[in-house]
Structure 1
Amino acid sequence: MDRAPGLSVRLKLTLSYAGFVMVASAMLLAVVWVFLLRYVPDRAMVFAPGPSIPTRSDLLRAFVPKAAIMLVFVLVFGLLGGWLLAGQMLAPLTRITDATRMAATGSLAHRVRLEGRSDEFRELADAFDAMLARLEAHVAEQQRFAANASHELRTPLAITQTLLDVARNDQSRGNDELVDRLHFVNSRAIDLTEALLVLSRADQRSFVREHVDLSLIAEEATETLLPIAEERGINIETSGDVTPTVGSPALLQQLATNLVHNAIVHNLAGQGTVWVTTSVHDKSVVLAVENTGEKLTPQLVSTLAEPFQRGSKRIRTDHAGVGLGLAIVKSITQAHDGTLTLTPRATGGLCVTVQLPAPSG
């Protein structure tokens, strides 16, 4: 925004300091002048031989020049002192302004790091540093996401191009195999695109909040995925009471479906178990999905909620997703002001806990 040039804050503070000092000095001189006038007669009175008593005119001629000189000195002192004090007081603001300009140019690594005891400027600097840290982390995450998304979207296109080239160069091969493989690759690309759309919708929080029962949502997700579990020989156990919360039924359904699907896919085939439980606490409701599986390290678990991070040690099948399952769960949870916790089980597998606010009132 273009603005007309104006006085700097430092100059305004300097003039304010000097003006205050001048007013205070003038008031002090006025008090002294009024006090002296009470004891000085209007005209000279001579009661005995000797010097006469000074009159108000004499006092005026003696007092006013010295008072004017003193006011000029006070004005100069106020301007110089005010300029130095204002500069010292505004020094932290100058550092914050410089950091803001650097951030505006794209340099988010810079921090103010204002030293000293806590005051208004230091609280502002600390809040600004925290904001820069969040922005830097968010930008880095978005850059990684864009790179990973581009790679994931490029893969099915490259496979499709290769299949078409092979079919064109080798016309003796049947079209049935080509159509089946193209159908599979295209389905994966569609799944990835839809997952990206759901992730974007959750990040933007563009949904209407409604009263929902999280236990019913978890039960519906379990029933929907039961055929996949039976195909892999996975046993699903559900438990929990009515679990009311407020949010988007569609997004919460996606959240529960992703959790149960991940627990089924990344499990021990033929002998695995999935536990789906819901519970109510004082100010929150909890959906927990736990599954058996290979042992996972805390370092690996800490990356599973990142986009396209599937975990190299987790079991993959034809039902494996596009690597956005837990990333979508994380975004939906954050969009509902909740918390997502991933914990490796000591005997192998993963425990995922989603904690959402309970409805108020």
Structure 2
Amino acid sequence: MDREPGLSVRLKLTLSYAGFLMLAGVVLLAAMWVLLLRHTHIGVIIIVRSHTDLLRDFGPDTALVLAFLLVFGLVGGWILAGSMLAPLQRITEATRLASSGSLSHRIRLPGREDEFRELADAFDTMLARLEAHVAEQRRFAANASHELRTPLAVSKALLDVARTDPSQDAAQVIDRLHAVNTRAIDLTEALLVLSRAEQASFTREPVDLSLLVEEATETLLPLAERRGVTLDASGDVAPALGSAPLLLQMTTNLVHNAVVHNLPGRGTVWVSTGARPGAMWLTVENTGERIAPELAATLTEPFQRGAERVHAHRTGVGLGLAIVASIVRAHDGSLTLTPRTAGGLRVTVELPAAAATARGRPGGGGPGRPLSG
């Protein structure tokens, strides 16, 4: 924004201090003058003098006092204003550095709490969050580029082989290209869902999460049966306010991850919902390999699948829990990942409840409904 040049805040404060000091001096001298004249009229002063005599006697001294107050106010005001505005100068310098792209510095203003230090602490907090966000976005861009590059490179290699080797089975090449292309499409769609969730560009409406659980578990039932995993869905009505497609995506991702990262042939997934005053919750818990707490804390990062679980079978695009975390944030909720002592993971989503009072619905599923065995 273009602005016309003006006086600095320090100079304004200096003039304000000096002007106030001068005004106080004038008021003080005027009061003394009035008192002196009053005492002259009532005979308190022995030797009566005219107003002209009083002005001649006290005028020069008054001018000297006012001149001294003016100089003293300017010098003292300049020093005081500089001292008071020193923290603001540090904040301004930090702002310039941040605007040039440097987010690693901090103001760390010393001293006791006041308005300037509160502003500096808030600015430091903002810089820390921006730095973490930028670093996360850079990692995400690098990982996304790598993940997108892989299917493209595989497709190119398959086409090169097919072109240089006429004896290559065309049907086999087509099948492999179809699989690679499907994976690239899945990854692109996942990136689009993640971007939409992070932007929170959706219409909020009442959503019963228990209905979404039923839909997700029914959709993933064939996958669970193929892997020999039992799905156990239970819970009560859980009315939330948000986007039904995004919340369904969140629920489906959680159940899908719980099925895929499980014990083949003998695994179990428990899905439950519930509500309490002001909030509702969804819990997805599964059996599986033991997960270290420090690893569980990183599973919501994009393209983070977990060490042993990736090498055993490469499934998904590594954005399942990252999408879940973004959807939960967009709905002002919280996501908690807790490793189970016996192995596997417990994921809890808590969202603000819808304003409407939860009421039972006919035909709702009761607790402990095994969907596959």
**TM-score normalised per structure 2:** 0.93
What code does the residue aligned with 2:73 have?
G
Contact 1:41–1:55, Cα closer than 8 Å, also in 2: no
Q: 1:239 to 1:282 in 2, by over 3 A?
A: same
Secondary structure class of the residue paired with 2:6: coil
Aligned to 2:159: 164
Contact 1:267–1:315, Cα closer than 8 Å, also in 2: no
Aligned to 2:322: 327
Contact 1:239–1:278, Cα closer than 8 Å, also in 2: yes
Q: 1:326 to 1:31 in 2, by over 3 A?
A: same
Q: 1:67 to 1:172 in 2, by over 3 A?
A: same
Q: 1:28 to 1:171 in 2, by over 3 A?
A: same
Aligned to 2:289: 294
The size of the alignment, in residue pairs, is: 355
Aligned to 1:183: 178
Contact 1:234–1:273, Cα closer than 8 Å, also in 2: yes
Aligned to 1:29: 29
Contact 1:202–1:331, Cα closer than 8 Å, also in 2: yes
Aligned to 1:48: none
User: Is there any run of 5+ residues in structure 2 with no aligned partner, and where?
Assistant: 357-373
Q: Is residue 52 of structure 2 the alignment partner of residue 61 of structure 1?
A: no
Aligned to 2:8: 8
How far apart are the structure 2 equivalents of 1:261 and 1:317?
16
Tell me how far 1:64 sits from its aligned partner. 1.4
How far apart are the structure 2 equivalents of 1:114 and 1:295?
45
How far apart are the structure 2 equivalents of 1:52 and 1:284?
88
How far apart are the structure 2 equivalents of 1:133 and 1:318?
37
Contact 1:163–1:178, Cα closer than 8 Å, also in 2: yes
Tell me how far 1:63 sits from its aligned partner. 1.1
How far apart are the structure 2 equivalents of 1:213 and 1:359?
9
What code does the residue aligned with 1:347 have?
A
Q: Is residue 96 of structure 2 the alignment partner of residue 105 of structure 1?
A: no
Aligned to 2:352: 357
Secondary structure class of the residue paired with 1:190: helix
Contact 1:277–1:288, Cα closer than 8 Å, also in 2: yes
Contact 1:26–1:71, Cα closer than 8 Å, also in 2: yes
Map 1:1-361 → 2, pairs under 5 A: 1-41=1-41, 53-314=48-309, 320-360=315-355
How far apart are the structure 2 equivalents of 1:132 and 1:114?
14
Tell me how far 1:327 sits from its aligned partner. 0.1
How far apart are the structure 2 equivalents of 1:52 and 1:253?
100
Tell me how far 1:152 sits from its aligned partner. 0.3
What code does the residue aligned with 1:17 have?
Y
**TM-score normalised per structure 1:** 0.96
Secondary structure class of the residue paired with 1:288: strand
Ranked by relative contact order (alpha carbons within 8 Å, sequence separation 6 or more), the top structure is 2
Q: 1:59 to 1:323 in 2, by over 3 A?
A: same
How far apart are the structure 2 equivalents of 1:317 and 1:197?
27
Tell me how far 1:40 sits from its aligned partner. 2.0
How far apart are the structure 2 equivalents of 1:219 and 1:20?
74
What code does the residue aligned with 1:28 have?
L
How far apart are the structure 2 equivalents of 1:115 and 1:86?
18
Secondary structure class of the residue paired with 2:282: strand
How far apart are the structure 1 equivalents of 2:109 and 2:314?
53
Tell me how far 1:2 sits from its aligned partner. 2.6
Q: 1:243 to 1:42 in 2, by over 3 A?
A: closer
How far apart are the structure 2 equivalents of 1:237 and 1:52?
110
Tell me how far 1:259 sits from its aligned partner. 0.1
Tell me how far 1:52 sits from its aligned partner. 5.1
User: Is there any run of 5+ residues in structure 1 with no aligned partner, and where?
Assistant: 46-50
